[in-house]
Structure 1
Amino acid sequence: MWDEAVTRYDFGPSHPMDPVRLALTMGLVRAFGLDRAMEVRAAPAAGDSTLRLVHREDYVAAVREVSEDPGVADGSYGLGTMDDPAFHGMHEAAALIAGQSVAGAEALWHGEVEHAVNFAGGLHHAMPGGAAGFCVYNDASLAIARLLELGAERVAYVDVDVHHGDGVQAAFWDDPRVLTVSMHEHPRTLFPQTGWPEETGGPEAEGSAANIALPAGTGDEGWLRAFHAVVPELLADFRPQVLVTQHGADTHFEDPLAHLAVSLDAQRAVQEACHRLAHEYADGRWLALGGGGYAV
């Protein structure tokens, strides 16, 4: 899923969420000829009815308002903060990214494709009623919510970003149809200070959330051991119909905003494992999303 306009999701030149990372990634896709080996699609921006599958109506209205006039942003709804400074076109850019993830999920569910990728997505910190952690609309949650709307009964979400996938967990905290698994740096040492192992789901969905909190400094061996010790067993028990994964690159040892020490080789190994798990437990239906990562 790709539209050049997703690079308009731009918080400014001093912000670490630089859209150049998206342009560089698409440049690699083209350089390796992947755009000729697979279908590249663009989808329209998510409309209000889709956004309201997860986000509150008043929050969507607030995003629209600051999108038209960034000067009115005062920190309400998490907009106009250091993490999420307001900019012209914020709503349109964020909704476009969400639209790519939702369209990818729809194509999977309708059997048009086996795998779908939106590397501009994975904005997992956005909450139903507010922006957080560089994330305005939670495309991962919206894709999952759309799958449920289409009739999915079991969707598994696996998040290997260095930060806890708090927004997705919150969206489905009491929904036993969604298993959320997040492997991240321990909340003692990193934003958003959630994702403790004791967080296991709400009263209506006990056991539907799993959090693997790793100490700062964890490298390839510990990271891969944690993944392989927990994720396959959870998926084998849950038997998802669709697997949605978030692959934030900020676990990398050169990322200056976090404290894990993972290599590209280990990141690739986890992505390959997710591919195998999708085929083993979800009939190959796999939606892979991007995520955080400091573009140097």
Structure 2
Amino acid sequence: MSTDFQTARVALGARLRELRTEAGLNGKDLAERLGWQRSKVSRLENGKQTPSREDLEAWAKAVGESAAAEELQGRLQGLETQYRTWRRQLANGHRSRQELAVAETARTRLIRGVEVARIPGLFQTADYARCLFIANAEFRRTPRDTDEAVRARIQRQEALYEAGRSFRFLLWEAALYAQVCPREVMAAQLDRLCGLIGVGTVELGIIPFTAPLQRTPAHGFWIYDDRLVTVETINAELWLDDQENIDLYTRAWDWLNESAVYGHQAHRHIARARAGLALP
């Protein structure tokens, strides 16, 4: 969880505590009014849990400060702008999130990215993407709109062939071996990667297992120009647009890039993974 997000959540919790104490209530009293476990009141006040909009409205009403609900909602919106839960983003399926990615790509000239266990969406074949969307919908128990999501992802890839754009991606070698799909689908995906080497707008680097590292590739992230970083976790996606985080992730990308190989060396690593599938 980002430090900025947690700091803001703690501040929101402190405001909730302030409203409770001003009303002359202790945690037990408030929990009884709300019909909650006392532990929930404690978690919210100490920044250990993110409240829902309904939680904030109920809190304001319970302490006799209904007018404070709007203020609390504003604080929560600030959190959600940066910390976007997958539960909310995928409530209606994957398509809307893919369309957002299409729009974000359209307004960006340079995208730098790191992936450690999968092929970047911009480079995926339709079949590879389909396998990921199906598995993700099953894992998150969200609506399955696989065909629409795949179409949106493939539409996004049109940007790869537009003059004036640049896509610089680093793949930890493990991503070439992670079989998140049938072997024949993975083989076609690796063939696709080989075909992208040499495309004018694309720079594809592979970080070999044996490469010396200044920093381990702990998780994937994408940098859009010098204005936005996105980071996926299991339960949420962080959208970081403050300069400190942008500089931090840019430095992480630069350090990892020093360990990457390109061109014919990258092709050789991809071809080795392809040969390991023992398919035509």
Instruction: Output the TM-score relative to the length of structure 1.
Output: 0.30
Name which one, 1 or 2, has greater alpha-carbon Rg. Answer: 2
Q: Which has the higher helix share?
A: 2
